[in-house]
Copies of this chain bind each other. A is one copy, B any other.
Amino acid sequence: MITKEKIAADFKQIQAHICSALESADGKGTFISDSWERKEGGGGCTNILSDGNVIAKGGVAFSAVHGPTPEKILQKLQLEKADFFATGVSIVIHPESPMVPIIHMNIRYFEMSNGEYWFGGGIDLTPHYIDPEDAAYFHRELKTLCDKFNPSYYTTFKEWADNYFYIPHRQETRGIGGIFFDRLKADEDMPFDKLFNFVKEVGYLFPRIYATFMKKNAALPYGEQEEAWQAIRRGRYVEFNLVWDAGTKFGLDTNGRTESILMSMPPQAKWTYNHEVTDGSMEAFTQNHLKKGINWLTFTP
């Protein structure tokens, strides 16, 4: 029997592993730990790394909270009054260099006193400049992990990510997607312990993937043009998170811990009226490929 305490403990361990792996890949920055308590029950620990060699602003947050299920969750999920327990690890990393992608990872477990429970999570990548080889590598890693557990996972969760990480008012995706899943429950093919292992492996895959990009891309040269484009892409990241991201909206709406929720904000962002990319530029290539449904495993430009 895997208890909720065991799940929280394993998640906490994943947080520690990730922070240590990222510090080692960064070579300069160290995480500062900010613990907090939730009045109604539980708490968390938000780890922040600022001004590293590669990471400009990164957050790796763990939380395990419990208490009476907030009214808004009950309404949204059409559930009767019950207590809840929720634990998760959330990550957003904004790199210093525009040549290194922004990344987001989340794994979470939710359980209610009435027996309801589910897992959710995902990883998605937001390159300032889309590199098809990087995109193929990223999606291949995700597919390999998914395939170990269920042959339908990658296709389903990749499409889910395309639809979730989408900015309707820009008619563009946030980046090149990845995998996203929610309300996953155990079944015959996927017993609870195997499902839990899948979710944990998503957590452990994250630092391997991101350390690869940190090492490979941080050395690439860039100048003012790339920095200007990065600032605009960061603005779009802000727009997605504040306008469309269900998790952010929900957190801010239900009196969540603001600083932990908004650790996803970039260190800096810019907005220029009606910014347009130059035909044939690298920026145009990226802009033109912020679309749903691209198979990055087989994509050739």
* A contact set with B: CB distance below 8 Å: 34, 46, 48, 50, 57, 59, 168-170, 231, 235, 238-239, 242-243, 249, 252, 255-256, 258-259, 261-263, 265-274
Closest Cβ of chain B: how far from A275's Cβ, in Å?
9
Across the interface, do B169 and A252 meet the contact criterion of CB distance under 8 Å? yes
Given A252-B168, A265-B235, is A259 in contact with B243 using a C-beta cutoff of 8 Å?
Answer: no
Across the interface, do A270 and B267 meet the contact criterion of CB distance under 8 Å? yes
Among B57, B243, B263, B274, point to the contact of A252 (Cβ < 8 A): B243
The CA of A68 and the CA of B271, in the complex, are separated in Å by 32
Sample (24) of A-B pairs whose CB atoms are under 8 Å apart: A48-B274, A57-B271, A57-B273, A59-B273, A169-B252, A169-B255, A169-B256, A169-B262, A231-B268, A235-B265, A238-B242, A239-B242, A242-B242, A243-B252, A259-B273, A259-B274, A262-B271, A263-B273, A266-B271, A267-B271, A267-B272, A268-B268, A268-B271, A269-B270
Across the interface, do A249 and B258 meet the contact criterion of CB distance under 8 Å? no
Kindly list chain B residues whose C-beta atoms are within 8 Å of the C-beta of A270: 267-269
Kindly list chain B residues whose C-beta atoms are within 8 Å of the C-beta of A271: 57, 262, 265-268
Q: How many copies make up the complex? A: 2
The CA of A231 and the CA of B263, in the complex, are separated in Å by 16
The CA of A145 and the CA of B268, in the complex, are separated in Å by 39
Across the interface, do A273 and B170 meet the contact criterion of CB distance under 8 Å? no
Chain B residue with the shortest CB-CB distance to A238: B238
Kindly list chain B residues whose C-beta atoms are within 8 Å of the C-beta of A269: 238, 268-270
Kindly list chain B residues whose C-beta atoms are within 8 Å of the C-beta of A273: 34, 46, 48, 50, 57, 59, 259, 263
Closest Cβ of chain B: how far from A168's Cβ, in Å?
7
Closest Cβ of chain B: how far from A19's Cβ, in Å?
15
Kindly list chain B residues whose C-beta atoms are within 8 Å of the C-beta of A252: 168-169, 243
Closest Cβ of chain B: how far from A72's Cβ, in Å?
13
Kindly list chain B residues whose C-beta atoms are within 8 Å of the C-beta of A57: 271, 273
The CA of A271 and the CA of B258, in the complex, are separated in Å by 12
The CA of A255 and the CA of B46, in the complex, are separated in Å by 36
Of residues A48, A259, A272, A273, which shows the largest number of chain B Cβ atoms within 10 Å of its Cβ? A273
Nearest 4 A/B pairs, CB to CB: A265-B271, A242-B242, A169-B252, A48-B273
Closest Cβ of chain B: how far from A277's Cβ, in Å?
14
The CA of A238 and the CA of B59, in the complex, are separated in Å by 20
Kindly list chain B residues whose C-beta atoms are within 8 Å of the C-beta of A48: 273-274
Chain B residue with the shortest CB-CB distance to A168: B252
